[in-house]
Amino acid sequence: MTQNASDIARAILAAHSARFDGHPAAAFDGFSSDAPVYRGAREACARLGFIAIDSECVARAWQAQTERLGHFDAAQWPADPRDFGLGSFPPAARANSFPPCPIALGLYAVLPDAAWVGRMARAGVPTVQLRFKSDDPAAIAREVQAAVEAVRGTSALLFINDHWQLAIEAGAYGVHLGQEDLDALTPAEVQQLRASGLRLGVSTHGYAEMVRADAVSPSYLALGAVFPTTLKKMATAPQGLARLHGYADLMRGYPLVAIGGIDMDRLPQALAAGVGSIAVVRAIVGADDPEGAARALMARMQQGMR
Ligand SMILES: Cc1ncc(COP(=O)(O)OP(=O)(O)O)c(N)n1
Ligand SMILES: Cc1nc(C(=O)O)sc1CCOP(=O)(O)O
Ligand SMILES: [Mg+2]
């Protein structure tokens, strides 16, 4: 049956509004195609509060899904990598992928300095990140080196945030980069990082950023911010659990890390979306007993993964 764009939008909203509630409608900036499924989906996504670049991405995927299936199915929110134009899955099997890391990185402590990295590695946290923010190049180099030394003799996997060249020199396990960090790299630098053998994790905050990250075939994807966070100013609103489920469905071939506002109470819900890792800052660094908090978070992760 041929349906027009308004019918398509209504059908999508009827099937998915309840799940994706809590986001105000987003500004609508027009269509890039005349295909009715695309147009209906684009309108519906804007009404569901997806930002324009994400609405565009999902609407195009909905059109691709319809063509692939041979019919429009309002119930089936797009979650097939082929419909988003992603590379082949699993990504780790691609010729140009970054080295793999465990599919379940477990509790992932994002920490402000090397002393914290050492403390949490010794407390048994499986994945740690040095997120040292400073304008002093000598201090940054010292901290990266100290973090690498701090995890020696422990089984913690150490990612260095932002400073990929120092991470290579110091021999870290991996590097974490945001979208802007990645944009600042030339193709030759991306290739240098890939050739170094370090793992690469990339931040994402929605469909369009996941698609961009997939283009470099990183070792893991971080999905944030799931809940509100006071740690840093975010450019996008908290994604919420329903979107986290959608993102994890689409990207399930990657090791996935949920981040942003996660604490003991919220951890089980975030884990249930299908991610293998939960990243936290304040739930550890802000705790009265950080080692105790880390142990409690790890125990809760174990329960959730059973
Ligand atoms: C696991 C994890 N996820 C996301 C981030 C954020 O990285 P980025 O977007 O580059 O922002 P800064 O941390 O550099 O402020 C992260 N560090 N770790
Ligand atoms: C560093 C960072 N990056 C995020 C992202 O969404 O990319 S959220 C975040 C802060 C996470 O801190 P807390 O666990 O204290 O909320
Ligand atoms: Mg960064």
pLDDT in tens, 21-78: 889 998 877 898 999 999 999 999 999 999 999 999 999 999 999 999 999 999 999 9
pLDDT of residue 304: 79
pLDDT for residue 13 is more than 90: yes
The tens digit of pLDDT for each residue in 33-45 reads: 999 999 999 999 9
Which of the listed residues 281, 282, 285, 297 should we mutate to test ligand 2's pocket, taking the one with most ligand atoms within 8 A of CB?
281
Interval 269-294 mean pLDDT: 98
**Residues in contact with ligand 2 (CB, 6 Å cut-off):** 110, 203, 205, 224-225, 229, 231-232, 259-262, 280-283
Residue 1: per-residue pLDDT: 53
Q: Is residue 2 very low, low, confident or very high in pLDDT (cuts 50, 70, 90)?
A: low
Residue carrying the six token digits 């994807």? 221
pLDDT of res. 125: 98
Euclidean distance between the first and final Cα of the chain, in Å? 45
Of residues 147, 196, 144, 197, the one with CA closest to residue 167: 144
Residue 260 phi, psi (nearest 5):
110, 105
Check: CB of residue 280 under 8 Å from CB of residue 257.
no
pLDDT score, position 123:
98
Percent of the chain with pLDDT over 70: 99
Strand (E) or helix (H) holding 38: helix 36-47
Is ipTM strictly over 0.90? yes
The CA distance from 22 to 167, in Å, is: 40
List, in order of start, the domains of the chain with CATH numbers.
5-76 (no CATH), 98-305 (3.20.20.70)
Spatial CA neighbour of 59 closest among 40, 79, 72 = 40
Q: Is 233 annotated as a binding residue?
A: no
Tokens representing 176?
């974490």
**Does the annotation flag 162 for ligand binding?**
yes
| CB-proximal residues (5 Å) to ion ligand 3 | 162, 178, 181
The pLDDT value recorded for residue 3 is 80
Q: Answer yes or no: is 181 a known binding residue.
A: yes
Average pLDDT for the chain: 96
Residue whose Cα lies nearest atom 4 of ligand 1: it is 203
- Tokens representing 53 are 């670049």
Longest Cα–Cα distance of the chain, Å, equals 66
Nearest to 47 by CA among 65, 27, 19: 27
Q: Which pLDDT band holds residue 257 (cuts at 50, 70, 90)?
A: very high
Q: Give the mutation target among 229, 278, 282 for probing the ligand 2 site: most ligand atoms within 8 A of CB.
A: 229
- Residue identified by tokens 């996008």 is 236
